[in-house]
Amino acid sequence: MSDDIFADSTTFKDLGLRDSVLKGVEELGFEKPTDIQAQLIPPILTGRDVIGQAKTGTGKTAAFGLPLLHMCDKDTSMQALVLTPTRELAAQVAVELDDLGKHTPIKTTCIIGGESMQSQKKSVQRGGHIIVGTPGRVMDMHGRKQIHFNDLRFAVLDEVDRMLDIGFRDDIRKILKLVKREHQTIFVSATIDEEIERLARSHMKSDAQKIVTVSGSLTVSLVDQKHLPVEPWDKKQLLLHLLKHQEPETTVVFCRTKATVDKLTKYLKDKGVDARAIHGDMPQPKRKRVMSSMRSGKLDVLIASDLAARGLDIAHISHVINYDLPEDPEVYVHRIGRTARAGRRGTAWSFVTPEEGQRLTEIEKLTGVLIEQLEYDGFKPGPVPKDIAEQRAAAPSKSDPDKHLAKRTGVPWHDGMSEEDLKAMFPDGNIPKTAPKQTLGSRLRTRRSR
Ligand code: AMP
């Protein structure tokens, strides 16, 4: 697969954007459109509803933002609504639209929780043509009649799969129901499965077009993806070892819970690592401060919950470390997408405990990438903690991960794959004894016996 995310033969001018918009594009240093921009912008400009799927970091924001800047009319406020799952992403999208629209009369307002509603209201009143926000604050301000959707012509859901999953679905439905006039919908993400597409289409016109620029694998091939087998009790020390000895530059470490984020940050700080935490329970001013030190390059290590998994675009993030594997394989795609953005290179390492082999296999199946083991030296695993050793002695078959692994040793590499997947890979029915290179399977199960 080509690493090139750019459209070869198209220019921004070819896409039919007005000069004031092109000037902003040029000033940001965008020389040519990315594939998703080349493919999404023309149908949006014709007024069509679109669902766009493209890999992380390949310019989806400008793909929906540039046509909005082109089409909004300068005399009407609140014409476009862009919803994102997190405050950080909303703020980032608003800044990018402001930058791109610098030479147009179109203004963007960011409406997010944790910040003054009064100043957001004023900003809309001063002519916010495009509102970028999170669902909670948008509903709140609509309920207080501080914003209205009477003139809304464009509704955009960024990270649409997250916006239509169970946590946000009802809010989105309510917000979109409030838009009474006919409007164009634009939904984008790096991961859109059939169920999400079906839900998305229920909010769109019947001729909505789906545009997919993801081919081969869901992740950007410029990310070097590796996994590291580790026992749960060794994770902290292994992370410290990697940070000290492998010397990654700017790193985001993802944990599954907020409590782990806090504990791990404290541990690393105590060991002299310049690490800061970010998660949803932190007050907004603190979240903002952490994000701005990350953006300005003052922070080496960010320990994050999945709050930071989606959309955030920080050019110099060189490494993503999955301290805990995510439960949902699609979250993996978004997390590692924090690196290797806009055609740069990046590294993603994932810690995998003995019980998590299947989870890693599921990630490999979804992404279409074989995630090899990282070779590193100098790390000595600690002893089995006393309570776990006792548990194992009492119920060896259940709690001893080594036994668990031993049981898996020798299973065929394709064990765990569905018949359908196997048929698709080997239509003639001849399944090789060993896993073919660059294909997927539960090869890890046999490889991981230590
Ligand atoms: P996004 O996927 O929208 O977050 O964009 C990822 C990064 O690529 C951002 O830093 C954008 O400013 C940048 N970008 C978007 N489109 C282009 C382009 N056509 N040329 C160069 N950089 C771009």
Write the pLDDT tens digit of every residue in 209-258: 999 998 888 999 999 999 999 999 999 999 999 999 988 899 999 999 99
pLDDT for 168-187, tens place per residue? 999 999 999 999 999 999 99
254 CA from centroid of ligand 1 (Å) = 23
Ligand 1 atom 14 nearest Cα: 59
Residue 127 is predicted with a pLDDT of 84
149 CA from centroid of ligand 1 (Å) = 29
Residue 341 is predicted with a pLDDT of 94
96 CA from centroid of ligand 1 (Å) = 9
Residue 241 CB contacts under 8 Å (≥ 6 apart), including other chains = 378, 379
Average pLDDT over residues 196-205: 97
Ligand 1: residues within 6 Å at CB?
30, 33-34, 37, 57-62, 313, 341-342
The minimum-distance atom of ligand 1 relative to the CA of 311 is 4
| Measured CA distances, 81 to 177, 178, 196 (Å) | 13, 12, 20
CB environment 384-423: b (16+ within 10 A), e (fewer): beeebeeebeeeeeeebbeeebeebeeebbbebbeeeeee
Residue 401 is predicted with a pLDDT of 45
5 pLDDT more than 80: yes
Q: What is the mean pLDDT of the chain?
A: 89
Place of tokens 């997927």: 440
62 CA from centroid of ligand 1 (Å) = 7
Tell me which of 4, 6, 8, 28 to substitute to probe ligand 1's pocket, judged by most ligand atoms within 8 Å of the beta carbon.
28
Whole-prediction pTM value? 0.87
> Do 209 and 200 form a contact (C-beta atoms < 8 A)?
no
399 CA from centroid of ligand 1 (Å) = 47
Order of strands, sheet of 107-111, starting from the edge strand that comes earlier in the sequence: 107-111, 128-133, 80-83, 154-158, 184-189, 50-53, 209-212
Residue 105 is predicted with a pLDDT of 97
391 CA from centroid of ligand 1 (Å) = 51
**β-sheet bridge partners, residue 351:** 228
Strand, coil or helix: 111: strand
Alpha-carbon 286 to chain mean position: 22
Please, which pLDDT band fits residue 404 given cuts at 50, 70 and 90? very low
| Measured CA distances, 427 to 145, 337, 384, 417, 422 (Å) | 60, 33, 46, 15, 8
Residue 410 is predicted with a pLDDT of 37
167 CA from centroid of ligand 1 (Å) = 28
Residue 393 is predicted with a pLDDT of 87
Paired tokens of 15: 């896409």
Residue 419 is predicted with a pLDDT of 67
Longest dimension (CA), the chain: 75
Structural domains in the chain plus CATH codes: 13-212 (3.40.50.300), 223-446 (3.40.50.300)
Ligand 1 atom 16 nearest Cα: 59
Residue 406 is predicted with a pLDDT of 32
The minimum-distance atom of ligand 1 relative to the CA of 31 is 20
Residue 76 is predicted with a pLDDT of 95
415 pLDDT more than 80: no
400 pLDDT more than 70: no
The CA radius of gyration of the chain, in Å to the nearest whole number, is 23
pLDDT for 270-308, tens place per residue? 999 999 999 999 999 999 999 999 999 999 999 999 999
The minimum-distance atom of ligand 1 relative to the CA of 28 is 12
Backbone phi, then psi, for 326, in 5-degree steps? -75, 155
Greater pLDDT, 137 or 2: 137
Whole-number Å distance between alpha carbons of 226 and 216: 18
pLDDT for 154-167, tens place per residue? 999 999 999 999 99
The minimum-distance atom of ligand 1 relative to the CA of 58 is 2
46 CA from centroid of ligand 1 (Å) = 23
161 CA from centroid of ligand 1 (Å) = 21
Whole-number Å distance between alpha carbons of 40 and 52: 7
The minimum-distance atom of ligand 1 relative to the CA of 60 is 3
Please, which pLDDT band fits residue 422 given cuts at 50, 70 and 90? low
The minimum-distance atom of ligand 1 relative to the CA of 12 is 19
Ligand 1 atom 8 nearest Cα: 342
Paired tokens of 202: 């229920």
Please, which pLDDT band fits residue 408 given cuts at 50, 70 and 90? very low
Whole-number Å distance between alpha carbons of 32 and 15: 11
